[in-house]
Structure 1
Amino acid sequence: MSGFNLSEWAIRNRSITLFIMIVALFAGIASFYQLGRAEDPPFTFRTMVVRAVWPGATLDETIRQVTERLERTLQEVPNLDDLRSFTRAGDTTIFVNLKGSTAGNEVPDAWYQVRKRVADMRHTLPQGIVGPFFNDEFGDTFGIIYAFTADGFTHRELRDQVEDIRSQLLQVQDVSRIDILGAQDEVKDIDFSVERLAGLGFDPSALIGALQAQNIVIPAGVLRTGEETIALRVSGAFASEQDIAAVTFAIGDRMLRLSDIAVVRRGFTDPPQPMFRVNGQPAIGLAIAMREGGDTLALGRNVGQAIKKIAADLPVGIEARLVADQPLTVDLAINEFTTSLWQAIAIVLVVSFVALGVRAGTVVAITIPLTLAVVFPIMDLANIDLQRISLGALIIALALMVDDAMTTIDAMSRRLAAGDDKVSAGIYAYRHLAFAMLTGTLVTIAGFVPVGFAQSSAGEYTFSIFAVVGIALLASWFVAMVFAPLIGMALLQPPKADQVDKPSRVTELYRSFLTLAMRARWFTIAVTVGAFIASLVALGQVPRQFFPASDRPELLIDLRLPQNASIHATEQLVNRFEQFLRDDPDLASGIERWSTYIGQGAIRFYLPLDVQLANPFFAQAVIVSKDIVARERLRPRLERLLAEEFPQVVGNVAPLELGPPVGWPVQYRVLGPNPTRLREIALQLGEIVASHPRTLRVNFDWMEPERELRIRIDQEKARLLGLSSQAVATALGGNISGRNITQVRDDIYLINVIAREAGGQTLSIETLRTLPVSMPDGRTIPLAQFATFEYGQAYPLVWRRDRLPTLTVKAGLAPGMLPESVVSDLTEAIAGLNAKLPAGYRIEVGGSVEESAESQASVFAVVPLMILIMLTLLIFQLKSFQLLAIVLSLVPLGLIGVVAALLASGKPLGFVAILGILALVGMIAKNAVILIDQIEAERAAGKAVWDAVVEASISRFRPIMLTALSTVLGMIPIAPTVFWGSMAYAIMGGLLVASLLTLVFLPTLYVTWFKGVPPAVAVAGEHG
């Protein structure tokens, strides 16, 4: 590189360079401790939940009048990917999912558009609609959860304490939100007898009106007297159930208290709200979310200290128990990865010392902390925390970082051996290799471009691979050009005058092998091409996977009863299940703790959690095992327990997921206009899925209709009695479920007052016929006098996708089986069923296979950009289409090593492994560019093609193999890890084989292309 020489400037301005080096070291140390710590990288949830309630509507009415209207409007939202709705009678929940390509800063505007468009059309919804409500905080992660249990205290007393604790914790630094789990709302029940009131000649509606009138809050005016203004307050508002019971009524000539004609009592909502338990005990939980940009470890310390102070003041009998501890998980994960990083650094240092010697190895060793010192402040400025992805990226980048330093020091050592002074040797690498090294660095970074610019959830999740590797490689080039020459001048010494620089035995063996391969050029090329074709064939034998399961100790246990089951039935189911967890010593020995969510799924305590909707028939337990070994031992035991003891339950036992959440491993969607026809198709599809020998627990997200009792009103009789269908429905609802008539304002709570017929909740279908209905004149009449009863069936709920009813067939898998393999096996049978479906019906693949395909598509969509960048860099460096063709012919050959490594290790070809393979392209191209650049330099010096190729290959043999060995051995610490293992093996195998081919196949191809001939042949030709 002619012109300004950066290395020469650094050497000439030694004091400035040393100052920059020292500042960089201190800045790096400070930034390392300042960087945020997290378990996973930040992730934008592109989902908003829209919910609306229409009390009293049937399922069909709710779909047609609410869900359909809302979905038509929501389809107009910009960047919409799909709509998924979950509709029950009188209740609809719609998930608005944006495209993965939607930028994070565009998401808030999309949610504004949702609110605006729904607000504009709200007047078209039926009367009586409650909502719609919007939740765009669906992705908030509550990494810290405390459960509070009470012995000797009422639920209200416990809740009072928990509410107070919540108020205190909201003051803790970095706390953004705290949700309460398992708290039950109080009610004041007024149980009265319609028949008794009728006997007294008193209309229940008059009773309700009197209570409402007394408890109302309205302004009474302001009294102004001279200089003073006095607000007027009217008493009478209810403060307790005693106040309600004391209300008097005039009935005829008598004055009666409410307690004389009704029972007033304190209770809780029935059916209850979702419940929360810890280790089998009822509890109230506090789920704590961190503010954006906060430090998880700092939050854990702050909350822990606050809870310690609070717990000291709690009444005896109330205990605080830690249920979810993300800061501890993050601390352990970061310590583990930091240990892996230091191990990788140690491995690279050993390789450097052994291969380069003590002095040269020391120079390379010093450049590692210097490079990291440059990397950490830039990460801090870019808001990249230390988390699973960034730490793994640092380990990946580590071996690549020393490549430039090794090249610089190797060149410097060679020039010293050739007789150059230290200054000339120090500036040689920049003058002759800097541009090629920079091009190679940029080409390597370009290999990570698909990771950085993939417009998908998985791409966003893994973005910091691209960012950290790019920062690290550019920093390593800078350190190699600025700091390494100066350090080399201080440590490297020219060889002694009597010391002969003999080639090593390994170098001589390589020279002999290279010469043999180049002489048998066509055989070498044929073997290489044959190996590449074999790897393409063997690639089909490598198992596929999206993301592996997490290595955290938690297990999620889903418990789902038939969809018409009550929450009370679900609670009884959980009681039985927890009894086994307590009493079975085989289970209890491996469990640290567990928590159970009844009537809903677990709150998002882990970023990639597949959060379940609240449903009375569903419960989810989170079991924290003592370690991973215990988790894997518990899992089959729990699966047997569910199969043997709970056959009526659709159960699933699964570890936490990594990457975007997908739920059940195998999923197929059936879409079509008619739910009944959809059910028939889904049953056929379920049989096909169940026929696979490795699928388990085939189930459906909705399927069986539930019973309903239809009350047919004889309208003529009802009109003669002065009754309407609305009056009858109101009477039935009030008598059976109760009617909310007013509220008691008690401290921070608003407590509903519910009036109902005494014993209304315990009515059976048989006694419903005799239910007394009040007439306008105050008398009552049995319901059967003007109504008939008939049984029917209706679906309890319907899922829809993009306004079409959608039924999802789900299945678990036998241990060791991957979803992609099952889907591949079933492709032909399902395609046959799909072909026979009526018009308007179709079957789609869902779950991890669909998400994997979408994520891979988003990555491969950026591959053309990666190729364009690489080609541009290469053509500017090589300035020859022939040389470019030689480099490109080498690039795909890394697949030979990739396939061999994955098959040998048994690792699947997952999303992260694919990213590693794409990154290999840049690594391979970099070595090829520097080697060809050296060959061209040798030819420019006057050497023949053959000699130039041999000499250049010999000179690049040590740096290329050192880089390969450093990378391969440096990957060892992360090779056993769950997340990075497949990528590590792919890079290890691919780079090792590609490096060997760079040193053998590329020289052979070069001499073949440019018709290089061995020296003996050339001499013979000259004398001929």
Structure 2
Amino acid sequence: MSAIIDAAFARTRVVVMVLAFLLSFGTVAYVQIPKEAAPEVPIPVIYVITTLEGISPEDAERLLIEPLETELASITGVEEMSATARQGSASVTLEFDAGFDSDEALDSVREAVDRAREDLPEDATEPSVNEVNTALFPILTAILSGPVPERTLNQLATELQDRLEALPGVLEVDIGGARDELLEVLIDPTVFETYNISFEELIGQIQRNNRLIAAGAIETGAGRIVLKVPGLIEDIDDVMELPVKVRDGTVVSFSEVATIRRTFEDPSGFARIDGQPALALEIKKRVGANIIATVENAKRVIDESTRDWPESVRVDYMQDQSEYVRDILSDLEANVIAAVLLVMIVVIWALGWRPGLLVGLAIPGAFLTGVGALWAMGETMNIVVLFSLIMVVGMLVDGAIVTVELADRKLQEGLAPPAAYAAAAKRMAWPIIASTVTTLSVFFPLLFWTGTVGEFMRFLPITVILTLSASLAMALVFIPVLGGVIGRAQPQSAAAKRLLHESEAGDPRRAGGWTGRYAQVVQWAVVRPWAVLGFALALLIGSFASYAEYGRGVIFFPEVEPDFMQVTVRARDNFSIHEQ
């Protein structure tokens, strides 16, 4: 270690430039690093859903669940499989081992579902395979509401959806509460009797004329041309012009036997804000995108879009995750600034303003270096990282305080600043390294924490290890080299010189003040080791006993006040959706 310290002091300018680079790089990383509320953790749960209109729970278990369970049971890595049958639908949930390969698991589930599809009823919907992914949770919900026609509100929401999905940080935008449009056919039975047309003929005619037919390909010397017969219905006119029947050279078209109008499917629910109909746009960000920047861009696009909207349409925002992340970042900045100021005040009071400046620089230096390393590793700034940074604030200055304090003593002995700080760094190198490694050894095993909780909490040991390692470099290299440049011997009073002499060469018990009383307590404890050991054991046992008696148990996260409340009212009778 002495060789590294000597090399650093021999290249003072290079070390100062490296420190400036780390501070600058860390500042850029702190601004650019993707920020999110919770870490994006792969949850080992995949579920399959299929529906069949009108089927009872008993029949759903026999006709829908059993074929799916038979095929899904052959998938390896499944820890638990559960199924639920409901009126009109069925679902199967698969819980995999923690640390699973989500892509491989999804492929295996889809293959099993494809095999089971042959055994499902023909009228059953195509089974959908879904994974539980925290990255797909909405980061912002925009509510569109106002006294406008439903079709107008749907059109505004669809246009806004397209603009939002064009943003680089947005993965997708789901519209909640919108009803799908459809064509409603009104048939006059008298007309049907006149033309001798049945309902089956009419429905079959529509189905046969709403198909995309591949007509093969033509190989030519210039290339290969793919042919197709366009037969898809695209608008109302296509339906109205469909021939229904040909008799004696006369063509009966659809418009002559039926009336068609645009409408919506029957509602399954209603959304209201202040009594007005509403639609919800749930915005989801891409993996690794900056949640604060993504929400700001989304709000900017929404504000630009609303300029051309009717004045009666308003936009409300709900569940804005960026505000939560921004509040945590503000708390972190306040804690860092407060820690730097308090440390500098204490050290300036004890050693002077120059040592205080050097020790205070160790905190932002270690912080920004750790954040820069996280950014380079492709990690994000989330609640676990922020908690880890706040937790290690008090640990980052220990080594720097020891080095600077010993260097200050060397300066009082008459050594030049470079020699004093180099000697202090060499003398305290291994004690500081041992202290830091002891702390790191507590967090190192957490890197191998398995399960979903381990994936969630892995940011804790990574952040602590990076920042404490950076603080070690600050205490032994950067701060001593910088101290050799700006360090100066501080003038001392007679009392301070007497205290230093008693501490170094005399009897510390005669130093007086808090130092003298502390030395007397230590001397009393040294001559009574068994009493001190007994007191320590009693304190340890008493702590466990007190927790067993008065402890309130263990929870993963503390309970906090909710940001919003949801009220659910259930009716006893089977009300229609309009009555509800």
Q: Which TM class, normalised by the smaller chain length? A: 0.7 to 0.9
Structure 1: distance between partners of 2:445 and 2:529: 35
Distance 2:214 2:110 in 1: 33
- Tell me how far apart the structure 1 counterparts of residues 572 and 79 of structure 2 sit (CA, whole Å): 29
Contact 1:188 1:241 in 2 (8 A): no
Q: Is residue 74 from structure 1 mapped to residue 84 from structure 2 by the alignment?
A: no
Secondary structure of the 1:557 match is coil
Quote the Cα distance in structure 2 between the aligned partners of 1:331 and 1:496: 46
Aligned residues with identical type, % of pairs = 21
C-alpha distance in structure 2 between counterparts of 1:236 and 1:485, whole Å: 77
The match for 1:186 is 181
SS of 1:555's equivalent in the other structure is coil
Q: Partner of 1:171 in structure 2?
A: 166
Per-residue CA deviation, residues 695-720 of structure 1 (Å, 9 max, x unaligned), is xxxxxxxxxxxxxxxxxxxxxxxxxx
1:97-176 equivalences in 2 (<5 Å): 97-100=95-98, 102=99, 106-136=101-131, 138-139=133-134, 140-152=136-148, 154-176=149-171
Counterpart of 1:361 in 2: which secondary structure? helix
Query: Within 5 Å, which residues of 2 pair with 1:889-928?
Result: none
1:528 maps to what in 2?
A: 536
Q: Does 1:559 align with 2:554?
A: no
TM-score, with length taken from structure 1? 0.50
Aligned to 1:37: 35
Equivalence map 1:268-279=2 (5 Å)? 268-270=264-266, 272-279=267-274
Amino acid at match of 1:95: T
User: How do residues 851-890 of structure 1 correspond to structure 2 at under 5 angstroms?
Assistant: none
In structure 2, distance between residues paired with 1:138 and 1:363: 45
Report the AA paired with residue 535 of structure 1: S
CA contact (8 A) 2:412 2:489 kept: no
Q: Deviations over 1:103-153 (max 9, x none)?
A: 5xx22222222222333444344444432221236430221222222434x
- Alignment counterpart, residue 5 of structure 2, candidates 7, 10, 14: 7
Q: Is the 8 A contact 2:144 2:278 kept in 1?
A: yes
Aligned amino acid, residue 517 of structure 2? L
**What are the superposed Cα offsets for residues 828-869 of structure 1, whole Å, 9 maximum, x if unpaired?**
xxxxxxxxxxxxxxxxxxxxxxxxxxxxxxxxxxxxxxxxxx
Paired residue secondary structure (2:568): strand
Q: For the Cα contact (< 8 Å) 2:71–2:115, is it kept in 1?
A: no
Query: Aligned AA for 2:137?
Result: T
Q: Which residue of 2 aligns with 1:547?
A: 557
1:396-438 CA distance string (max 9 Å, x none): 1111010111121222234444565544432334433322321
- Between the aligned partners of 1:221 and 1:17, the Cα distance in structure 2 is 71
Gap change, CA 1:238 and 1:480, over 3 Å in 2: closer
Amino acid aligned to 1:361: G
Cα distance, 1:84 vs. partner? 3.4
The Cα shift of 1:358 comes to 3.0
What is the alpha-carbon distance in structure 1 between the residues aligned to residue 212 and residue 244 of structure 2? 19
- Quote the Cα distance in structure 2 between the aligned partners of 1:234 and 1:75: 43
Report the alpha carbon displacement of residue 316 of structure 1 after superposing the two structures with TM: 4.3
Partner AA of 1:537 in structure 2:
A
RMSD across aligned C-alpha pairs, in angstroms?
A: 3.8
Q: Secondary structure of 2:395's partner?
A: helix
Task: Tell me how far 1:474 sits from its aligned partner.
Answer: 0.5
Other-structure match for 2:505: none
CA distance in 1: counterparts of 2:516 and 2:145, whole angstroms: 75
Shift of 1:558: 4.8
Kept in 2: contact 1:384–1:390 (CA 8 A): no
Say which of 423, 426, 444 aligns to 2:439: 444
Whole-Å separation in 1 of the counterparts to 2:131 and 2:57: 26
Contact 2:45–2:96 (CA under 8 A) maintained in structure 1: yes
Say yes or no: does 1:512 pair with 2:520: yes
- Contact 1:5/1:431, CA 8 A, preserved across alignment: no
Residue 437 of structure 2 aligns to a residue whose secondary structure is helix
Q: Aligned with 1:136: secondary structure?
A: strand
Asked if residue 454 in structure 1 is aligned to residue 449 in structure 2, the reply is: yes
- SS state of the match for residue 42, structure 2? coil
Contact kept, 8 Å, 2:15 with 2:478, in 1: the verdict is: yes
Amino acid at match of 2:303: K
Structure 1 residues without counterparts, runs of 5 or longer? 573-1024
The 3 A distance-change label for structure 1 pair 118 and 210 is closer
The structure-2 alpha-carbon separation of the partners of 1:195 and 1:5, relative to structure 1 and needing over 3 Å to count, comes to: same
Q: List gaps (5 residues or longer) in structure 2.
A: 503-510
Q: Distance in 1 between matches of 2:76 and 2:351?
A: 58
Partner of 2:507: none
Q: Residue 410 and residue 264 in structure 1: after superposition, are their counterparts in 2 closer, same or farther (change >3 A)?
A: same
Once the two structures are TM-superposed, the CA of residue 472 in structure 1 deviates from its matched residue by: 0.8
Equivalent AA in structure 1 for residue 39 of structure 2: P
Instruction: Give the distance between the partners of 1:494 and 1:157, measured in 2 at CA.
Output: 76
1:405-420 alignment runs, 5 A limit: 405-417=400-412
Contact 1:49 1:138 in 2 (8 A): no
1:491 matches 2:450: no
Give, in whole Å, the separation in 1 of the partners of 2:233 and 2:493: 105
Distance 1:539 1:482 in 2: 43
1: distance between equivalents of 2:258 and 2:144?
36
Which letter maps to 1:41?
P
Cα distance, 1:266 vs structure 2:
4.1
Deviations 1:895-938 (A, max 9, x none): xxxxxxxxxxxxxxxxxxxxxxxxxxxxxxxxxxxxxxxxxxxx
- Output the CA distance in 2 between the equivalents of 1:98 and 1:470: 30
- Structure 2 CA distance, aligned partners of 1:234 and 1:294? 41
**Per the alignment, in what secondary structure is the counterpart of residue 289 of structure 1?**
strand
Compute the displacement of 1:460 (Å). Answer: 2.4
Distance 2:326 2:91 in 1: 37
The DSSP-based 3-state class of the residue aligned with 2:489 is coil
Mapped contact 2:8–2:15 kept (Cα < 8 A)? yes
1:179-230: CA deviations, max 9, x gaps? 111110123334669899799976432343344445555579999xxx9x99
Q: Any idea what SS the aligned residue of 1:118 has?
A: helix
Do the aligned partners of 1:5 and 1:430 also contact (CA within 8 Å) in 2? no
Quickly say closer, same or farther: Cα 1:138–1:425, change in 2 above 3 A. closer
Summarize deviations over 1:486-545 as a string: whole Å, max 9, x none: 233332417669743254511111111122223333332222222221111111212122
Amino acid at match of 1:112: D
* Paired residue secondary structure (2:345): helix
Distance, in Å, in 2 between the alignment partners of 1:36 and 1:158 is: 33
Q: Distance in 2 between matches of 1:528 and 1:342?
A: 36
Cα distance in 2, alignment partners of residues 423 and 126 from structure 1: 84
1:343 alignment partner, one of 338, 343, 351: 338
Q: Give the Cα–Cα distance (whole angstroms) in 2 for the partners of residues 353 and 563 of structure 1.
A: 72
* Structure 2 counterpart of 1:548, one-letter code: P
2:249 is aligned with 1:239: no
- 2:406 maps to amino acid: A
Match 1:368 to one of 363, 380, 389 = 363
Residue 173 of structure 1 deviates from its aligned partner by 2.2
Partner of residue 84 from structure 1, selected from 76, 82, 85 = 82
Match for 2:545 among 537, 550, 573?
Answer: 537
Contact preservation (8 Å) 1:452, 1:463: yes
**Which residue of the partner structure matches residue 16 of structure 1?**
14
Instruction: Specify which of 313, 337, 356 is matched with residue 318 of structure 1.
Output: 313
Q: 1:110 aligns to what SS in structure 2?
A: helix
